Structure 1
């Protein structure tokens, strides 16, 4: 029997989003390929884990993530009704496609960007218009707006993925004001930027703006899968109508509330990563690498011209217990994306890379 006969044709053709390699458990490796936080989450989070009671597991969680929404609203200066939480921002991206773009709808994205935006479009049979970044990988927001003249949405990661390049809040605001399309700004890496260019505050003024945030990066809760989206009440109500009955489990809600409550811990970790990013980028450039000026917790870089190609180098690094990300995609084939780990991990990588390229 051909079991694929039960799969819808567009799903059968879909290329799934493929995350970074998952090293076998028990191995001592440097995980510099998934933009994970290299340091533990807040002690508040660890205490919350210890304080878990059986009732938290026995009973259904709050279907709207009530306490977490209230905490997020208070932290970012919005109402709880302007926030929706989900099982990571990846689930919220799928919801946005389902609620606002849908079958035959058009979305505009820069290229290159987070591959899940393409994947979600294919899953919902939406059309994607890709606007190529400039040769230096900066994004022309005017070109994005022009391409969206008949589109339902524009998706933009800021700081960018996989480049780490940052647009100012003024540039994003001009984009949102210049188009009638829905503008979705994914700020997954904003806490690592040298200056805060978040546009969450603008949801009060711009009815076409949605802003995504995650607890996976700066709060070190990637395993808890907590994402949130901010927007006007009408947009959030639209998403609420199609979300799962219980989109976020009780444990993850509790951990996210604890992490959010400890802002000094988050800021210290982000600053440590910023400092390590700066010193690591400087060392790479001194060794002949081309490095984009990232504002995320990673760098996109090109090995020296005389070196082995990026794909081969990634394989050799993995053989030495160092995992980095290589993308087999146009304009990225010659590059590696390297997450910022501890200063010791980055120093070790520099030593190993120097030996491999000698």
Structure 2
């Protein structure tokens, strides 16, 4: 029987699967699988979202003028070079659609965000995933992988799921080694959590060069994951291209209004960062005492490596924790089958997960 068929390569894409949100048989559930902020959204953003219900019959502002203005004011940017999207995921898709095609290549790291190979394959191109060095982006490996067919390099900085980051001098060294016709996409979804002096999200490079784009999201520290809201800062010619192909009303009114309020509530962001600073360090120290390998992280999550022993592997721990209502993220799809990723949660959740991991590691075997 004849039927419509998708473009070559589409059926080779592994669908993205997010972190679990439920656990069978458990009482109270603590979802620590999706890197969501435990503080939730700004109260001002919540109020703006509710007020937006009065506008449900209207189309949103297709140019996202108020939101772009709020972002530009917050960071000292040119609003004309900001493009807003339905999450930074949409913007990554649009960049791939605009700058990749059949026969082209994009480069990402082996443990980088799963969306990079998805958007690359969806555009008909090939994603080259280069090795990392000790769970860190390897600039030399990326540069060695560049070919005449390379069109985009995707870098998550900080990286999800490893939590590592590339210092600004290394990002600049990477950029300097790329041809001018290669687009360097700096995905800075977790940048608001980073307080290192040698880190820069990408604004300076975008302001200086014609082939660098920085993407950001409201899903993490701003607590607006359900609204699907992101933005990018780009050279004027790239912003023009993306504005030509994006949906004319790609961001809803509730998302636009909540985004403006969230961007202006700097106190809430400060509180979220302070909470994360405290508990990220505490979790890393306490879990590290349990004969578990905790990768250094500058984001709002930790990557935990488990012993390669029967009954003590990551899969065993995952079952053990789920039965206690603690949901972490399995890392098999990221090429890290014996690791779990733990989002920083509330104080209650953080203390419970450490206690549960201690109980798990003290057992002789099994995952009950």
| TM-score of Structure 1 vs Structure 2, range by shorter chain | over 0.9
Q: Deviations over 1:13-72 (max 9, x none)?
A: 322111112328997311110111111211211221343352x21110011111111111
Contact 1:194 1:274 in 2 (8 A): no
> Match for residue 36 of structure 2?
36
CA distance in 2, matches of 1:190, 1:45: 20
Q: Deviations over 1:202-254 (max 9, x none)?
A: 21211110001000001011111101111110011011111011110111000
Greater alpha carbon shift after TM alignment, 149-158 vs 18-27: 18-27
> How much has 1:9 moved relative to structure 2?
4.6
CA distance in 2, matches of 1:35, 1:18: 14
Greater alpha carbon shift after TM alignment, 246-255 vs 117-126: 117-126
Task: Select 2:279's aligned residue among 276, 279, 294.
Answer: 276
Aligned residue for 2:332, secondary structure, equals: coil
Aligned residue for 1:212, secondary structure, equals: strand
CA distance in 1, matches of 2:49, 2:116: 33
CA distance in 2, matches of 1:27, 1:223: 24
> How much has 1:331 moved relative to structure 2?
4.6
Tell me, yes or no, if structure 1 residue 285 matches structure 2 residue 288.
yes
Contact 1:149 1:179 in 2 (8 A): no
> How much has 1:2 moved relative to structure 2?
7.3
Tell me, yes or no, if structure 1 residue 102 matches structure 2 residue 101.
yes
Aligned residue for 1:349, secondary structure, equals: helix
> Match for residue 174 of structure 1?
173
Task: Select 1:354's aligned residue among 341, 358, 364.
Answer: 358
CA distance in 2, matches of 1:332, 1:139: 15
RMSD, matched Cα: 2.0
CA distance in 2, matches of 1:208, 1:289: 41
> Match for residue 342 of structure 2?
338
> Match for residue 113 of structure 2?
114
> Match for residue 260 of structure 1?
263
Aligned length: 355
CA distance in 2, matches of 1:105, 1:27: 50
Question: Under a length normalisation based on structure 2, what TM-score does the superposition of the two structures give?
Answer: 0.91
Tell me, yes or no, if structure 1 residue 233 matches structure 2 residue 257.
no
> Match for residue 297 of structure 1?
300
Q: Kindly tell me: are residues 68 and 317 of structure 1, through their superposed partners in 2, closer, same or farther at Cα, counting changes over 3 Å? A: same
Tell me, yes or no, if structure 1 residue 187 matches structure 2 residue 188.
yes
Greater alpha carbon shift after TM alignment, 240-249 vs 121-130: 121-130
In structure 1, runs of 5+ residues without a counterpart are none
Contact 2:112 2:334 in 1 (8 A): no
> Match for residue 250 of structure 1?
253
Greater alpha carbon shift after TM alignment, 312-321 vs 254-263: 312-321
